[in-house]
């Protein structure tokens, strides 16, 4: 179906089901219960989960397939965001032109950066992309203030000349929409104690994510994807056979830059604002973390990694000392205090510590990321069955 084999199609179906039923799946705990803080089913977080999923899927096309480790992908996200916000300021608050233009501009920018950076490989490539991203960040923050808004960033205002839209009342806040459906439109479904939020913006982002995911499966399974894997396993040998690898790596770089631009455009579509810190190198580092954590070179890994990190960022960081004390209230005082003292550094503001530790453990013991972990657990349960040795991308960890 759709040019996919059975296995990939079922994977796509699973992802589609997870994405479309996310408001239910992410809200497993009834409202008002002690566990309700683990609910991730609110629009803002759900949107971020899928948007950063797109970002990581795109990064994976470059890093997972070719092995080129870019430390500057946030620049493309940022450029896409700026392009989208300018479309919203100048043309219309409809998100379609904003997203299309953000993809195109990010593609052009990544063509330029990739054309220069891909002349080197290995760590030099990482440093070059990092240098370009840091330059973009510094420029957006200082000299390009007329275009980027500098420290304050950009937001659409009612005074902007939107050619296609009707003029707004003074003071009226322009809202991003898709042919009249506003991004924060939605309804709440109340079932007993449970409240499920369905949000238009989330579903638009989720559909885009599914298309992006489908495209990445096609790229993985195509002869082009095979070429990219050849670059990763032995570029020299590939050159000796008379193939020029540069067009392939450059194409991969531009595609992943366009994915980043798409994510940037969607971010703007959801919250209609952008700031330069979106391009800082820590943001580039974050997408590296997401991809490796989930499993570089696998199809589903980056989505899982992005979901995992964004969930941690929003949920684990909210747990504070009082909540911890409530959890351990049933224990004797001294034991409860002891538990709180042990766990406290790892939650709340310290969630980065947990993230760093998990990331190190994954790199050390599970080079294939969470996906490989899942496969190992799966193998433990069905060890007695004969192993099938069909070559499969999802089983080759990144190297």
Q: Does 82 bind another protein (CB under 8 A)?
A: no
Candidates 173, 353, 378, 379; binder of another protein (CB under 8 A) is 353
Candidates 143, 190, 335, 342; binder of another protein (CB under 8 A) is 143
Q: Does 134 bind another protein (CB under 8 A)?
A: yes
Q: Does 84 bind another protein (CB under 8 A)?
A: no
Candidates 182, 188, 337, 399; binder of another protein (CB under 8 A) is 399
Q: Does 243 bind another protein (CB under 8 A)?
A: no
List, in order, residues 6 or more apart from 242 with CB less than 8 Å away.
Answer: none
Q: Where are the alpha helices (DSSP H) in the chain?
A: 6-20, 22-25, 43-66, 74-90, 95-117, 122-141, 145-148, 200-221, 223-240, 246-271, 281-294, 301-315, 321-327, 333-343, 351-365, 369-381
Could you tell me the smallest distance in angstroms from the CB atom of residue 92 to another protein? 32
Q: Does 352 bind another protein (CB under 8 A)?
A: yes
Could you tell me the smallest distance in angstroms from the CB atom of residue 284 to another protein? 11
Could you tell me the smallest distance in angstroms from the CB atom of residue 352 to another protein? 5
| Half-sphere CA count of 191, side-chain side, radius 13 A | 8
Candidates 49, 75, 231, 288; binder of another protein (CB under 8 A) is 288
Residue 395 to residue 50: CA distance in whole angstroms: 24
Residue 245 to residue 237: CA distance in whole angstroms: 10
Query: Which residue from 97, 109, 157 is spatially nearest to 133, judged by alpha carbons?
Result: 109
Q: Which listed range, 160-168, 190-198, 279-287, 380-388, lies at the site for another protein (CB under 8 A)? A: 279-287
Query: Contact at 8 Å (CB) between 294 and 370?
Result: yes
The footprint of another protein on this chain (CB under 8 A) covers a number of residues equal to 44
65 versus 212: smaller Cβ distance to another protein = 65
Residue 193 to residue 177: CA distance in whole angstroms: 31
146 versus 332: smaller Cβ distance to another protein = 146
Burial of 85 (0-12, 13-18, 19+ CB in 10 A): buried
Which spans of this chain sit near another protein (rule: CB under 8 A)? 67, 69, 116, 119-124, 126-128, 130-132, 134-135, 138-139, 141-144, 235, 281-282, 285, 288, 292, 345, 349-350, 352-353, 355-357, 359-360, 363-364, 367, 398-399
């Amino acid at each position: 179906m759709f040019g996919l084999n059975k296995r990939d199609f079922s994977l796509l179906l699973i992802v589609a089901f997870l994405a479309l039923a996310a408001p239910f799946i992410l809200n497993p705990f009834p409202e008002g219960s002690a566990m309700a803080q683990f609910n991730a089913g609110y629009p803002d977080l759900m949107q971020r989960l899928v948007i950063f999923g797109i970002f990581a899927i795109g990064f994976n096309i470059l890093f997972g397939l070719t092995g080129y480790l870019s430390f500057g992908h946030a620049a493309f996200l940022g450029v896409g965001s700026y392009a989208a916000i300018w479309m919203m300021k100048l043309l219309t608050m409809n998100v379609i032109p904003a997203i299309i233009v953000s993809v195109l501009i990010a593609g052009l920018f990544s063509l330029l950066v990739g054309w220069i950076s891909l002349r080197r490989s290995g760590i030099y490539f990482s440093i070059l992309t990092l240098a370009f991203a840091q330059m973009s960040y510094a420029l957006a923050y200082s000299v390009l203030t007329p275009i980027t808004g500098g420290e304050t960033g950009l937001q659409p205002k009612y005074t902007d000349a939107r050619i296609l839209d009707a003029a707004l009342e003074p003071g009226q806040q322009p809202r991003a929409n898709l042919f009249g459906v506003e991004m924060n439109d939605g309804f709440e479904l109340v079932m007993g104690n449970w409240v499920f939020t369905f949000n238009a913006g989330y579903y638009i982002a989720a559909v885009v994510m599914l298309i992006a995911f489908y495209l990445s499966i096609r790229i993985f399974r195509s002869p082009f994807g095979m070429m990219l894997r050849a670059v990763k396993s032995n570029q020299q040998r590939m050159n000796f056979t008379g193939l020029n690898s540069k067009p392939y790596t450059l194409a991969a770089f531009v595609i992943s830059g366009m994915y980043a631009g798409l994510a940037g455009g969607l971010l703007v579509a959801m919250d209609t604002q952008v700031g330069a810190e979106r391009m800082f190198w820590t943001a580039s580092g974050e997408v590296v973390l997401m991809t490796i954590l989930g499993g570089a070179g696998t199809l589903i890994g980056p989505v899982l990694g992005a979901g995992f990190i964004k969930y941690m960022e929003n949920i684990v960081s909210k747990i504070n000392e009082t909540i911890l004390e409530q959890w351990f209230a049933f224990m004797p005082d001294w034991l409860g205090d002891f538990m709180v003292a042990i766990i406290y550094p790892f939650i709340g503001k310290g969630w980065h510590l947990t993230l760093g530790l998990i990331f190190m453990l994954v790199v050390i013991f599970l080079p294939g990321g969470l996906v490989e972990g899942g496969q190992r657990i799966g193998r433990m349960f069905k060890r007695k069955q004969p192993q099938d040795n069909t070559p499969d991308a999802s089983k080759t960890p990144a190297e």
